[in-house]
Structure 1
Amino acid sequence: MIKKIIKIIKEKIFESKSYSIFVLKKNFDFLIKKIFEELNEIIISLQKYKIYKNCYNRYLLIKEICDLLYHIILFIIYNKFSFFEIEKEFFRRTKISGKKEKKNR
């Protein structure tokens, strides 16, 4: 799924007025700022959802999660990480416990 999303974003990047190209032409700090901004919006949405567990707040939380994932994908593209590298790391982690993996860093 993520591989497909990355492909779609990469295809759209070259449209001169796309938001993706706007972000990627900005500097790295701008992209990092956007990621933290989206994280903050997720926290706010999550707090609202925990209080008012309804479809509307759930939907808003999902929207913010999508925004964060989108900016993380732009981060991946900006830094020219391959999907293979990320996938390889995920598979490596399936063979080790979370505690052990953190300890080995």
Structure 2
Amino acid sequence: MSGLKPLARIHRPPRSAMQSGRANTHEWVLEYAPSEGVRLDPLTGWPGSGDTRNQLSLRFPTREAAVAYAQTRGISFEVETPPAPKPIQPKVYADNFRTNRGENWTH
């Protein structure tokens, strides 16, 4: 790097598509932005980069801890605030067999 401050993004990771609850979504993550572009390896043709910071992901229990870490190390950062969580609607199997269903059967 040529004297530039590394840029980082502090955010809360979204829950995975295979996850219905909110477990493991309470921590904050600091990820570095890439400092150089991806280039193709001339021998294999695989994409690669000399920047190893994109492999680094630091996890913190709170937003304040992540911000304090970045500030003490002179890392310029931007914080992405997560959207408000939607309430989880409990589903009842017996609702599939109600007589006053609003939608038609699909099977």
Give me the TM-score of the superposition, normalised by structure 2. 0.27
User: In terms of Rg, which structure is larger?
Assistant: 2
Bigger proportion of residues as helix: 1
**Larger relative contact order (CA 8 Å, sep ≥ 6):** 2
Bigger proportion of residues as strand: 2
